[in-house]
Amino acid sequence: MKALEKYFIRKRILIEKKLQFKYAGVILVMVLASCALIILTVYFSCWYSLTEENASVQTAAAIGNMLNKLNLMILFELPILLVIAASIGIVLSHKIAGPVYRLQKAARDVSHGDLTISVSLRSNDELRNLSDAFNSVIENMRRLVSKDKKLIFELSQITNNLYASLKDKKINESDALALIRKLNDLVGELKTLILQYKIEKG
| DSSP letters spanning the chain | -HHHHHHHHHH-S-SSHHHHHHHHHHHHHHHHHHHHHHHHHHHHHHHHHHHSTT--HHHHHHHHHHHHHHHHIIIIIHHHHHHHHHHHHHHHHHHHHHHHHHHHHHHHHHHTT--S------TT-S-HHHHHHHHHHHHHHHHHHHHHHHHHHHHHHHHHHHHHHHHHT---HHHHHHHHHHHHHHHHHHHHHHTTS--S--
C-alpha separations of 192 from 33, 135, 149, 157 in Å: 59, 24, 14, 20
pLDDT tops 60 at residue 7 = no
Average pLDDT over residues 71-91: 81
pLDDT tops 50 at residue 1 = no
The pLDDT confidence band at residue 54, using thresholds 50, 70 and 90, is low
pLDDT tops 70 at residue 53 = no
**Which pLDDT belongs to residue 11?**
64
pLDDT tops 60 at residue 4 = no
Q: Are 179 and 158 in contact (CB under 8 A)?
A: yes
How many residues would you count in the chain? Answer: 202
CA distance 21 to 15: 11
Average pLDDT over residues 147-159: 83
**Which pLDDT belongs to residue 5?**
44
How does pLDDT run across 11-36, given as a tens digit for each residue? 667 777 777 788 788 888 888 888 88
Taking the whole predicted model, whether its pTM rises above 0.95 is answered as: no
Q: Are 45 and 70 in contact (CB under 8 A)?
A: no
Mean of all residue pLDDT scores within the chain: 78
Helices 57-72/17-51 angle, 10° precision:
170
Residue ranges per structural domain of the chain: 2-126, 138-194
pLDDT tops 70 at residue 74 = yes
CA distance 27 to 88: 9
The number of angstroms, rounded, from the C-alpha of 53 to the middle of its chain's C-alpha atoms is 61
Average pLDDT over residues 118-131: 80
How does pLDDT run across 156-192, given as a tens digit for each residue? 888 887 777 777 777 777 777 787 888 888 888 877 7
